[in-house]
Amino acid sequence: MSEGARTTNPTDLTAEQLLAVFERMSLIRRVEEVAGRAYQQQKFSGFCHLYLGQEAVAVSVATAMKPGDTMIAAYREHGHAMSVGVSPEAVLSELLGRRTGTTGGRGGSMHIFDVARGFMGGWGIVGGQIPLGAGLAFASKYRGDKSVNVCFFGEGSIHQGVFHEALNMASIWDLPVVFLCENNRYAMGTDMSRINAQMDIQLKAISYNMDHAQLDGQDFFTVYAGVKEAIDRAREQSRPTFLDVRTYRFRGHSMSDPGNYRTHEEVEQEKGRDPIALLGRDLVAMGVADEAGLEAIDKACRQVARDALKAAEQADFPDPNTLMDHVYA
């Protein structure tokens, strides 16, 4: 796609806030790279799904959220957690099963939680978090505190019954929720065109009398504008929205996926629309930053990521005597 750089800031965000967005996206990128290398070096095992390439989506939501709002996501959630301020050290410690992880090393990569920051996990069952997101919004409405839930899921979830049940209920009960589909085109190795009767998936919201939009998830400004509108609608009118956010993951589904179902050319073409590079280019064209300033931010993020892994490796494992704590029988 040949698109020119933006020369004016289309948002209500200050230059300082935009630089914080760039920094947060860069931090997620560098931590995910460190996590991927640590996995390859067998510093941890089990499942690990990286968020590389999708950073603008979670960060745009975190930027539009207000204190008290909540976010819930699937198992590709390291980036979502960091978008709301969970530290790289807490995330990497959780991956490595350490006591200092977000769930004390008991959950691992797919179960990061930080309730104080409104991050409600980290869920491994495809589509399982969709009714939970509706439930969080129901709780907000019941309390009357005007908070909003943003519920993330992949396009591989939208054929599950729970997706349709949750959207219907959210609409009839006027719940303050944003159903955000991170549509990266592949459910593991399955191209969405093989399983979708209707490729314009935002139209599914029509069945539930719900506002909807399709957004370019690689362009921070576009996705931020669409997400903000949906969050504002949830807060002010207590109405749900369904968003089909088009994005792309730069790596395989998980660390064990060589990605043979897509061509090298396709991946390289998508990397040409790297969300961090696009934002950086815009920030320079707007006069918010210069190349050297952005490079310095990125360099600092690389260092934070490396230091976080070192700290995680040095942290203790949970005490074996606590093995049965939090276990319900």
Ligand X SMILES: Cc1ncc(C[n+]2csc(CCOP(=O)(O)OP(=O)(O)O)c2C)c(N)n1
- Answer whether 254's CB lies under 8 Å from 47's CB: yes
Q: Can you point out the beta strands (E) in 139-247?
A: 149-154, 177-183, 186-187, 190-191, 211-216, 241-246
Least CB distance to ligand X at residue 180 (A): 12
Q: Point out the residue whose Cβ comes nearest to ligand X.
A: 154
Tokens for 202, please give them.
Answer: 């935002």
In the complex, the smallest distance separating the C-beta of residue 251 from ligand X, rounded to whole angstroms, is: 11
Nearer to ligand X, 182 or 298 (CB): 182
Name every residue whose Cβ is closer than 8 Å to that of residue 295 and which is 6 or more positions away in sequence: none
Residue count (the chain): 329
CB nearer ligand X, residue 69 or residue 182: 182
From its phi and psi, is residue 202 left (phi > 0), alpha (psi between -120 and 50) or beta?
A: alpha
Nearer Cβ to ligand X (76/228): 76
Provide the minimum distance between the beta carbon of 167 and ligand X in the complex, in angstroms, as a whole number: 15
CB of 307 to ligand X, least distance (A): 28
User: Smaller CB distance to ligand X: residue 111 or 235?
Assistant: 111
Gap between the Cα atoms of 43 and 96, Å rounded:
7
Distance CA 81, CA 102 (A): 10
Residue number with CB closer to ligand X (149 or 184): 184
- Positions touching ligand X (CB under 6 A) are 76, 124-126, 154-157, 182, 184, 186-188, 253
Q: How far is the CB of 60 from ligand X (least distance, A)?
A: 17
